[in-house]
Every structure is written in C-alpha cells, then in structure tokens.
Structure 1
Amino acid sequence: MSIFAVKEQMDALVAELNQHTYNYYVLAMPTIADYEFDKKLEQLAELEKAHPEFADPNSPTQKVGGDITKNFVTVKHKWSMLSLGNTYNEQDLRDFDERVRKAIGDDFEYVCELKFDGLSISLTYENGVLVRAVTRGDGTQGDDVTNNIKTIHTIPHHLKGNDIPQVFEIRGEVFMHRAAFERLNKEREELGEVAYANPRNFASGTVKMQDSKEVKKRPLDCFLYALNSQNQLFKTHWESLQTVKNWGFNVSEHSKLVNSIDDVLAFIAYWEEQRFKLSYDIDGIVIKVNSYAQQQELGFTAKSPRWAISYKYKAAEVQTVLEKVTYQVGRTGAVTPVANLKPVLLAGTTVKRATLHNADEILRLDLHENDTVFVEKGGEIIPKIIKVNLNLRKPNSAPIVYLTNCPECETELIRKEGEVAFYCQNDEGCPPQIVGKIQHFIGRKAMNIDGLGDETIETFYQRGLVKHISDLYTLNEKANELKQIERFGERSIENMLKGIEKSKEMPFEKVLFGLGIRYVGETVAKKLARGLKNIDNLISASVEELTAVDEIGGRIAESIQEYFSKADHLQQIVLLKQAGLQFEVVETEILLQSDKLIGKTFVISGVFEKHSREELKTIIEENGGKILSGISAKLDFLVAGDNMGPSKLEKATKLNVPLISEDELEKMIE
C-alpha cells in the first residue's frame, strides 16, 4: 500500500469512528456493533503506531481513560473565571447597551453566543498539547480533572496548525446531550439508583468521578468559546472563535456577529423558540463586545466583566388539568407513577404526560384528582409538575393515593427501608417485567443478539413463544410458528437464530449482566465475574464473600443473594447452562516476569497513587502471586490504598494480615 493510501485509510477510519461515536453518544442511535467498532479502533491504533506522522490529534484512539484520581488537586487560575451579570428582561439589555455606548461610543459590534447549561472548564495547552483541565471552582481556583476531560471525544489532545501559541488557555462548557442523558438515567433507575434531575447535574457528577474509565462510559461533549493568552493574538473575539475552530476545537456553529442591540434581541427571540430543537440544553444567550481593545477599555467590576452580559430564559411553564395518574412497571419491578394531563402546548411540543417520580413526590405536591397543575419544562428533559393551583381545586376532590398492588399482575407492592420506589416482586409472572428482562438480556451491552429487537420480543411474548430468557435458545425448534408472524421471513428468522447461537460465545460477565439482577450493572458484573470466577461460586457466596469483592457493598450483596434464593432463577441458570452459555471466566495465560511472589496471596483494596487496581493485579500475577476474592486466614498480604473499606481493614486486623502499600509491593519484586 502506498504512503498516500495509508494516510487516506487512516483519515477515513478517524472520520468513520468519530461518526459512530456521535451516533452512539449524541443521537443514542448506534449504527455499528461494539465488536466491529473495537476492531476498527484496533486497526487505526496499529496504523498510527506504524505511521505516527499521519496520526490525527482528534483520533478516537486518544480518548483512553483508565487512570484513578485519588484526590483532585486544587489549581489557581491564571486568568480568573468570572461569572457574568444576568438578566431576564429586555430593558436590562438596553440599559447595558446604553452603558457600553457611553463608555466607548457607537462604533462597536456584539457577538451573540448560546449559553450552554453545563460545567465550565478551563483547558491549558503547551506546544499544542493538552496539559491541564481545571473546573471553575470559586472563580480563582478549581479542581484539576485532566484525566477525565481527556476522555471527551471532542476535546483534542494535540492541536493541528502552524500558528498555535506556545502556551494558552481556552475555556468552554462540558455538557451532556439529552438522548444520552435519558438513556443513562433510565439505566440508573432500572438499577434502583437515584436518577439525575437534568443533564447538567449528570455532566457535573461525571467530571468529578475518580475513575476515568467510568467517565469514558458516560458520553460528555464540550463547546469551547473563550481564548486567553499572554500576548494578544487577535483583534476581536469573533476572529479568535474562527481561528480556534481551525486548530481543532469544537466551537458552536450558532454564534452570530451583530451590529446593534435590536439584532441581539432578535437573536434572543429566535433561540427562545428554537432551543428545544437542539440536542442539548441552553438556558440563555451570552452577549459580548467583539473588540478586545474595547473590552479592555470597558474593564471589569469586582465580580464580572463590563463588556459582557447574559440573558437567561425563564423555564417554560403552563397550567393544565391532571386527568389521572397511571403506573408503569419497569424491568426490575420498580413501579413509577405518571401524570396524564389534558394536552397542552409547552416549549413547542404538545405535552400529555409528566413524570411524578415516586410516592413521596405525590405526597409533596399534595395531588388531588382533577387538580389544575403547573407543568414546567426547563432543565428537565421530561415535563414535570412543579405545584398545584389550590385556588382552582374542586371541592371534595379526593387525594391521589399510591397503589398497593401491581397494576399489571395484582401482586402486593413492597418498599424496602431507605428506598424511594415501590416494587412488584413477581418478576417471573409480571408481563412487563418478563418482557423487559428479555429485552435487557438481548441488548447491546449484554448478549448483543443480532436479529432481535424490543418489538420482536413483545410479539414473541404475546404469542407465547418466550416466557423466560432460556426460551430464546429453543426458538430453533419453533420454525413453523415463527413463519406465521407477519413481516418475519425466512432470512429474518435465519439471521435471528444465527445471532442467538453466536451469543453463546459471550463471556461470563456479559451473561451475568444480562440476567438483570437488581443493582448489578455492567461494571459490577465485571467485578463479580473476575472476583468469583464462576456462577456456582456466585450462587453459594455469603454476604461476607460478596462484599470482599472490590467495590461490592452490602446492598448489592443482599440483592444477589435474594435473586439466587428463588427457585425460578436457579432453574433458569440450569437451562441456560444446558443451552451452552458461558458461566465461568476464561482465564488468560499469564507470562511470568519473575517467581518472586509464588506461593503468596493478595487482596487489593482502596485507591492508589501510581497504579490502578487492575495494574496492581497484573503486577502480582506476572510475578507469580495469586489474587484472592476476599480476606481470610489464608491471605498473606492486603495491598492497602486510600479510602479502603473499613470492614476489610477491620477483618484484616483481626486476622493479623499484613498491610502493605504499593511501594512495598514494588520492593518485593525488585
């Protein structure tokens, strides 16, 4: 292959993989299987290794993640991150415009920018390389979150171009697209975790996570909008925006250069209507004087620049009538109340339903039948009821009383202490739970079965073809019944059966996640599989043995024990084993670097400065040591980091197990 063809292939792979990333993260509509994506990523990485001169700074191979940050270091901002003055009305903007004119005359321009509803971030580049990312903090200093920010696919690690200054800082906003927020929040709710209120909170919480591998799984994006450097590089803010775009930064396409306050107001009015068509949230418009010389002349107050202001939109709010409250049953049995409303136009769309979250929310609102309610759609994705108009409450209207029995199967609902949701425990007999469980099992993050979708599963259930996960593996015996289904031809059936057969190759951790055990998400399933090695160990494990596995707490342990205490679930495991699914970890061969730890056993717990826990595990195994799943009298060493669980420390102390640091471990193999 010629050198030009290699570069062409690399550029094509970067473009294709970045598009797939956009489809997955932003649109929540993946167009490629994980396996294919990973293979293409490997191919690109190999080409970049062989031809580093052609490596694209925006390559998806650069967004790695994997470092553990024990504590975020506080960093002082070189240029203070001041907040802007806010207004909600036109007159304040005209007053701002008048102050600017009095100070600098009539010859100036404004730049109008969308005000993104996210987390402010400051990025420092040296010689074209990203060296530091710091949060706003209190405006004078913030937290160094570089490892986490490097996982964001739109933030370049290396810049392209010849006119890039040696050192500069660029500011922007980290945010999450609505589609990704909805998908991730749904996963949290299904695992029994508290949902985030809006994308901003989710983005903010993600940026402050300790493990950047976990950050990478949560799709964040970032728009950049302000450049700072020691020397003035440009005459205007507008010029700087166009240039940094050429350097490889993600700059919003919706900014506009205008000549008057009337143009500013027209821009604000346009986006007040159009903002709901964006894939992300904005909460207003930022207006800046364009010329840097004029900005300097206008100066600053103690809190904010005199050359900029932000106009904030009020949250869209309407009144309508609550017609009734219905209830949805999720895959895990969680029962969620939904307000059914008299249709009303809100923020450009007709709203018929609003979330009520849980029983506590109904009590907080003091909802009664046929109440007139205020509904808001601001930072919230799904409209929500914010209050009741008590002046319009009908006399003798009865309060809304939360269900006591499942709306689908009549099983009595339970609510565990300390939890907000009510649950239906009839998971093997409640239709939406059965269908949801099978849909979860075939999903991309679990068994990834090609040829099967959510609608197909619903059809199969209604026709009595599948009642349990294990029934998927007997569909090859029901060819005649499958052919009777409309729009389900021979090729579709053949592809589906191939996909089901191929799913038998999926590793234990995927099967475990696919079972849909409450609180056992993708990461927890991985840790359980690695810690306990096979399904039999998991079924028979005590709470102590389960919590001895890294990051497994009491709540997860109890949920696992409860799941495997049911005969129906154990029967499903037997049938799935007979079908040929993987229920044990396939150990990879470890190439020994030395025999210095042979005969020694270790447990790793806590957060470490130099290595991740996975890296320490590899170091121990490569030098002949063995990793145990829990602390016992057989244990030789507990490799202890910061934030180690108190129960592990207490147990190790009782059994006189020596505690060693990562430095002491390294000395053992020197």
Structure 2
Amino acid sequence: MDKEQAKKRIEELRKDLDYHNYRYYVLDNPLISDAEYDRLLRELMDLEEAYPEFLSPNSPSRRVGAKPLEEFTAVAHTIPMLSLQNAMAPGEVVEFDKRVKKLLGVENVDYVMEVKIDGLAVELVYLNGEFTLGSTRGDGFMGEDITQNLRTIKSIPMRLLRDHDIPIPDRLEVRGEVYIGKKEFQELNEKRALSGEPLFANPRNAGAGSVRQLDPKITAGRKLNIFCYAPGELVGVSLITHFHFLEYLRKWGFRVNPFVKLCRNIEEVMAHYAYIRDMRDTIPYEIDGTVIKVNRFDYQAALGTVSRSPRWALAFKFEAHEETTIIEDIVVQVGRTGALTPVALLRPVMVSGVEVKRATLHNEDEIRRKDIMVGDTVIVSRAGDVIPEVVRVIKEQRTGKELSFAMPETCPVCGEKVVRPPGEAIRRCVNINCPAQIKGSIEHFASKRAMDIDGLGEKLVEQLVDKSVIRDVSDLYYLSKNDIASLERMADKSTQNLLNAIAASKKPAFQRFIYALGIRNVGEHISGLLAERYGNIEKLMEASEGVLLTIPEIGPEVANSITAFFRDEKNRETIERILAAGVEIEYKKEGRKPLDGLTFLFTGTLKALTREEARKRVEALGAKQASSVSKKVNFVVLGEEAGSKADRARELGLKILSEDEFLRMLQNP
C-alpha cells in the first residue's frame, strides 16, 4: 500500500483496537477473540514500524489496557505494569534469545518459565508486611483501587508470613493474576442461568467482572483465586534473580504457580513450553501460553523496556482455543440413539491448530438460550479433543439478514416423525431401522474403546449400510471376503486386514462388550460397574431395575435405560447372533485382588506410564483412582511438577509414593 493508504489503515486499526480495549478491559465483554485482537495489534505495530512518521503517543501499540472506571479511585503504579510482547512461533522465541544475548554481550542466559494465566492482572502493596492497597493494571500507569474486593480472596495474605530466614521488606509491591477456575466458572454460570442472569463468556471475563464489583460481597461469593509472579517496587530486601524472588514469595505466604521452571538455555525453554502445552487441558484453570523471563535482575535492568513491553520478557502463546467466525448454515445430524443434534456449518477457521468447519449446537434449547441464527458472527471454542462449539453470538455484528432456525418435525434421514420426550431437551427419531442410527451404533461398536475393530471407519460403515451388506452390529461377524471386496477402495489386502481385525475382536473383556452395545446413558465407567456386579452377560440381561438401583452411581434414568435395552427383542437377538458367531466374552475370575479396596491419586507427570495406563494398572489389581484429595485416598503417587494436590496430601498425612515406589508396588502388590 502507498503512504496515504497506510495512514488510513493505521487510523482504522487504532479506532478498532481502542474500541476492543474498552470492551475487554472496561466492560469485560469482548466482541472478538484474543487471537483476532493479537492479529490486529500486530498489523498496527508492523505498519507503524514501516511508516514511523505516523507514530502517536496515544496509539494502542503504546498503551496497556484502558483507563480506570470512574466508580473506582485511581491509583498510580510506582513502576509501570507493562504488557508483554507476544511470540506465536518457535522461531520468534529463538530470535528473542539471540537478541537478549547480543544486547547483554553474553553467550548464555538463564530464563524463568511461567504459565500465562488468563485472568485479571492486579498489584498488591504491603507496608511493613501488612496489605494496604490493591489495584488493577488499568492503562499500565494508573489502575483502579479494588483493595476491598481483593481482601475477599482468601489466597491473598493480609499480612506476610514471618520466616526467620528471610526479612520482611519495608515496602513490597507484588503483581499477580486473579482468576476463576474452570469448575468454579461452570458453577457460576449455572447459577446465573437459573436466576435468569446473562452468562459470562469465559473464565477471564467472569474473574475480571467479579474483581471489579462495587459491592465486595458479590466478589466474595465468586470463588476467586490468585497466582503471584512479579515484583513492582521492593524496598528493604535485596534479591539477585527472579527465581529467588518467587521463592521468597512462597515463604511470605503468596500463592506461586507450581509450573514455574528455571531453564538454563533456550532448549530447556522449548521443552518446558511443549510440556505445558501438552497438559494445558488437564490444568484446572485457563492458560493461553507461557511467559519467558530473563532470570537475573541486573540483566533485566540492562535490557530495559521498549514502547509498551520489557525487552527481558516474552509471552510464548498457544494456538487459540477460541476464534471468531460466521455460521453459514445449520444442519441436523441423527446419532446412534436417534438423538437429533443441530450442527453449525462455519466459515472455516483455525482453532487450536485445527481447521474447524462445524460446531455442535447441542439442542434447540441451547440455540434459543444463546439466540443463535444463521448468518451470525460467533465465538467458536475448541479445547483439546473436545468437539468444537459455539460459545456465544456477537449480536453487535448483526445486519438484519440473519435467519432464525427451527428443529424439524421429521427425521432428516428416514423421514419418520420425531418426538421430544417429556423432561428432555433432545428430539429423537423413533424409527429403530433409521440408517443414521444403524451407522452410529456400528461405528460405536467398532470404536477403539469398545470392540476395537481397526480399519472400520465412518466411510466404510456408510458403504456397508447403504448397500445393505449389514443391518446391525451382529452382521459384522458374518461378513465374507466377497461382501467386503465389492466395496469401493477395498483391495485384497485391505479386505483381509478388516477380516483379521474383526476376528481379533472376538475376545472382548466384559466391560468393553457392555460399552460396545451402546446402551443409552451407559459409558465406560458404568459398564465397569455392571461387569463387576453381574459377572456375565446372561445375568446382566435379566437384571431388574430395583437391583440395578442398589449399585452406587446408578440412578433411575440409567437403570431404566439398561432394562429397556435388554427388554427389546431385537437387541437380545443381536447379542445372541454375536455370541453364535464365535465371540467369547472374557469374564473376570472370582477371587480377591491384591489391591482390593484401595484408592490411588495421581498428580504430576509420570515418566514410565501415562495417567490412563496407571489407572488401568491399579484397577486391574482391584484398586480405584480418585480425582481429588481426601482422607479416602490411601496412596498419592507423585510425578514430576506435582502441584497443590501434593501439598494438600501432605497436610492430610496421606501416604506419598514416588513413581519408582509405585512401580515396585505394581510388580509386587
């Protein structure tokens, strides 16, 4: 673009970013995803670098956040709370490392790695060990006085712990991130939905909105938490490194994130980033990246700051869990239980490194609650392996051309009438011969955690059903070579591979067989309880609803689903045909197991086993796995980077095992 076009684009970007800053920082109600905001800001910074004559001290590229709300008293930060430069790719981190070493004139630099928590940045001020003032970051230079609200957060110390080994500073300014956990966020939104209040878009907005309440009682009821990670002004104590400062924070009574790591070189930085990225979805609070900081304070001072960011720190961000896109259409899918699920067809967008074209809308009540229309601009989320979903509609982007959506009265696959049972949010096709239900049940039956028939995927199942080669799951065990060879893309080798996989599935564990049947409301866990209680398929098929209700964790809805499934003559005939084809269910032998009655909790990362492998090993020996710390836990197995669960286990006096001790126990239970 020429100079005039560049000037116009810079002005547009500044106007847009100022508005989005206002929505994000002041109203706690963003209109775009963080990833899109980062792209706009990066475009502005690139243009300002290319055309320095258009630089302005009031540009969003020179500021952090927005001005405080008028309802709060303004607070000046002794040292500005600057934001961090973002890196999106490994190459940018490598360049950061080279630049740091070049400016310092050294060959190697130690870095401290921290997780980048998606919350609200605050500053806590302590005078002679007493908490006296708390403020938001605001615009980086002036924040909002939220002292009374911060006092309601129980993890913020009101006075510093006095450890005889370390002094109490005359003045201590601590920066931290206030946040709300994933579980607490879900509970908060559920309460708001019941009371008819608007839902928070994400945990970050819930946390920010809670901290910045005029009534501290509202803040107190929101289950907020904090991690502290950086100093402001520090008077009366002299420290050499940032890592040393974090150790002091812990001793003074502050909550410091357990994933902090001292890295001796850039290779260790990259390795720790990959470690955090891979466990991102298991962490009970939202993080959107890692933060890399030069460890030595004298190096930080020598590097200084540039524009809005320190030269000595970098945010290495993850691929976004959320993105902005447009709903181009809504279609309805039919699942293996006959459930009709509305699905949004999206303008393709990259989310968490994957191109997303479709997102579940769950059911018609959810569409109504979120007020979703065809043509809407929406925020789409994809966390880990979870099916993408529409988080919320950006109604401000509506043009009037959007179209409302209504669920169909007949099945879109077979044309039969659909019903919505009383008390349920889902419409269902009642035709058990519906091709969509047949395909779904076969895909589930063959899936890895069920009968594990390798190579029997969606496309092949479609051909088998559409060409009437099979009509239910039992037909799989009666397939001939000629049946399969007649299908598209099935040569001799692939045909034989499929027949071999079907043959290999003929000795399933009882739990897997139950799960494979696809009984409504019966997942892997309930399948395991049923296998443990009944011992064989014949006993389970005759189980009464009353007896099923005596099994812990099985309620009326699940019990009714199980008995209804086995009352259906077609289902019983299918099971009989499967067994007649030579399928031999492997039942557990009676007798006490070495770890019967014991409960294990795993925390941190295990080197020799995955969490799933460890769970299966202890369950095979009769034990159970717990998900939280309590006195009911017999053994706590500590992996690397074990977090707060380890501390809580020690407080309760629980038996702690290292990974090596745990492995020895498995060998000699």
TM bin, normalised by shorter chain, reads 0.3 to 0.5
* TM-score between the two structures when normalised by the length of structure 1: 0.46
* TM-score between the two structures when normalised by the length of structure 2: 0.46
